[in-house]
Amino acid sequence: MGPIEIGFVSLIVIVFLIYSGVYIPVALGMISFLGVWIIKEDYDIALKLLGIAVSDSVAEYTFATVPMFTMMGLVVSKIGIGGDIYTVANQAFRRIRGGLGIATVAANAVFASVTGSSIASASVFTRVSVPEMVKFDYTRRFAVGVVAGSSVLGMLIPPSVMLIIYSFVAEQSVGQMFIAGIIPGLLLTVAYAIGIMLMATFALGFVGKGGLSGQELVAADADDLMSFTEMFLRLIPVMFLILVVLGGIYGGVVTPTEAGAAGALLALIIGILRRRFGWEELKSTLVDTGHITASILFLIITASMYSRMLGVAGLPTLFGDWLASIDLSFAAVMALYVILLIFLGTILDTASIILIVVPLFLPAVEAFGGDLVWFGIVTVIGAEIGLLTPPLGISCFVIKSTINDPRVTLFDVFAGAFPFAVIMLFVLIAVIAFPSLSLVLL
């Protein structure tokens, strides 16, 4: 076999291994190493490629964003900020049709802006919002669907681990990727809210009687309603975090790495002042941060090896030449890309999709003059749809395992999340049609 054939076979084998349950970095690293060894017929070259990939990844200053934002997200999850955000959002939207659902989306959007993790969002709001929604006559299917759909905001609204991984693969600025994700993230949030109001109006059987209006909620909780001052005080911690992290990056005051460090320190101080964070919590947070950071670094190292292996095989160039030879327009290329993202999303997780597909399409996007920052936002949104689709919708599995309710089946979670996957697809089309939505703040 020649290099091209080896490159194609490596793609198929990697997908097969990941789908078979092999740890993603192990699959990428092993196949990349073997691929270069076979192509060059030299063990030493393959070994040197591994060494270069390791040194380049570890030496990259921007990699420090990973442990800092990871630690900040873990601390925020532990000190109960998610519950505070939901309480305020619940009251703010209580008079609107589907108000509890909209409150969940709004709270998840704010929570995502300080954690960047869909898994954390799904876990927190499954415990916080699902019981409240069921209590006020929303269907269980709709309740878990809202949590699943809004949890993916953590992958798009900065800081986002997926945006960081894409920035390494495509060699783009982490700060620019963060800023580019703001408007698409807000657009998706608004689209979800509008979708919930429409569902509460035209699909009440799916939403439940709780979606009619918030009047029952107002009457039931009249004694618990907060004043504007109380709502503001509850939001002060998260407002400070957003100001420090996103305000600092957007204002050019700090780098993304420095913003992550400042955010982690501020989250620690808030937890200590609120007496929700002690030595035991600090110890477990540091250990968890180390585990997550090590796994992400391993992923980035093997992704670098994989990209280099594809380059040695000449596959990206061949793929770009093939796209040019069939005379596709840029719109057709993007349509093909989105279809591929959605298809792979049914069997692979977001990180795997980014690592496998992006290196193939980057040369073609550059040849058409497409902006790689915009392309990253398109990639993350497209891959996010896979978080809500069977058989591997990770957010749906997290919700199912967290809720621990035999009356809620995995089918219920996927069925509840389906309308939100459709809404996300429409937002993706809008971002592709109007690149300025992601680039206007840059």
Distance of CA 309 to the CA centre of its chain: 27
Q: Report which DSSP code applies to 137.
A: T
Q: What is the Rg, in whole angstroms, of the alpha carbon atoms belonging to the chain?
A: 22
Residue boundaries of the structural domains of the chain: 3-439
Return d(Cα 397, Cα 377) in angstroms, integer: 24
Return d(Cα 361, Cα 339) in angstroms, integer: 13
> At 164, is the secondary structure helix, strand, or coil?
helix
What are the tens digits of pLDDT across the range 311-346?
777 777 777 777 767 777 888 889 989 988 888 777
Q: Work out the angle between the directed axes of helices 161-170 and 372-385 (0-180°, nearest 10).
A: 130
Q: Other CB atoms closer than 10 Å to residue 200's CB: what's the count?
A: 24
What are the tens digits of pLDDT across the range 245-295?
878 877 878 887 788 888 888 888 988 888 888 888 888 888 988 887 887
Select the highest-mean-pLDDT range: 54-63, 215-224, 228-237, 369-378: 369-378
> At 329, is the secondary structure helix, strand, or coil?
coil
Is residue 219 scored above 60 in pLDDT?
A: no
Return d(Cα 144, Cα 411) in angstroms, integer: 11
Is residue 238 scored above 50 in pLDDT?
A: yes
Distance of CA 367 to the CA centre of its chain: 27
Q: Report which DSSP code applies to 158.
A: S
What are the tens digits of pLDDT across the range 343-383?
877 767 777 788 778 888 888 888 888 999 999 999 999 98
Return d(Cα 179, Cα 441) in angstroms, integer: 7
What are the tens digits of pLDDT across the range 112-131?
777 766 777 777 788 778 88
CB-count exposure of residue 216 (10 Å: 0-12, 13-18, 19+): middle
Residue 132, CA atoms < 13 Å, CB-side half-sphere = 26
pLDDT of residue 312: 78
Return d(Cα 377, Cα 390) in angstroms, integer: 23
Among the listed residues 130, 128, 150, the one whose alpha carbon sits nearest the alpha carbon of residue 141: 130
Across the chain, mean pLDDT equals 82
